Amino acid sequence: MLKYITSNVEKINTARRNLSPFGIEFEQQNLSIIEIQSDSLVDIATDKALKAFKKIHEPLFVSDHGWSIPALNGFPGPYMKYINQWFTSQDFLNLMSGHKDKRIIRHEVICYIDAKNVKQFKYDVNGMFVEKAKGQGYPAMRVVSFLPSGKTVAKCSNEGINSDDNNLIWLQFAKWYCKVLPM
């Protein structure tokens, strides 16, 4: 059975929603894996997948994402998880207040591995910082929108609607998986 190495419930729900139409089933599995420190999400995800495969010797995939802010030279990159633990929504707004360029880019990576294959998928989603925090959730998600309407990621999540087109990376993965590894 295909394994998804994560403890993140949101990631699990996203994967199920996007892979089930293709008949791709998986089991979630927690593994204690020390992640490398790198500016490359592809390197981080690939290293994690390789380490996980060494532990369980079963086909698996991992996913990761990072956020880069062009006005801040790509900060925080793959460290967004930690920044969300330290910063409040207002900290993000304060950080962006002196910048005209309000863009933010979310980088998504999925890495699949089995005994014969290591395959990475990458996708970027462009968004903008909004003027005021809205919704409940992680600090950055309350001040970032990936929709033309400007509705924040947190607000979308609170209302149960899709906040962006991140399902495209899952579509890439699913099509490849079904083609290369017929079930």
| C-beta separation of 92 from 140 below 8 A | yes
Looking at residue 166, its pLDDT comes to 64
Query: Could you give the number of structural domains in the chain?
Result: 1
- pTM of the predicted model as reported, rounded to 2 decimal places: 0.88
Structure confidence at residue 10 (pLDDT): 81
Q: How far apart are CA 144 and CA 48, in angstroms?
A: 28
* The pLDDT value given to residue 118: 96
End-to-end alpha-carbon separation of the chain, Å?
11
Matching residue, tokens 């010797």: 57
Question: What is the domain extent for residue 44?
Answer: 3-180
Q: Six-digit token pair at 43?
A: 């390197």
- pLDDT of 181 reads 75
Neighbours of 51 (CB within 10 A): 18
CATH of the domain at 64: 3.90.950.10
Residues present in the chain in total: 183
Output the tens digit of pLDDT for each of the chain's 183 residues: 899 999 988 889 889 989 999 999 999 999 999 989 888 999 999 999 999 999 999 999 999 999 999 999 999 999 888 899 999 999 999 999 999 999 999 999 999 999 999 999 999 999 999 999 999 989 999 999 999 889 999 998 888 777 776 678 999 999 999 998 765
Distance CA 113, CA 60 (A): 6
What is the DSSP pairing of strand 27-29 with strand 3-5? parallel
pLDDT at 51: 97
Taking residue 115's Cβ as centre, other Cβ atoms within 10 Å add up to: 8
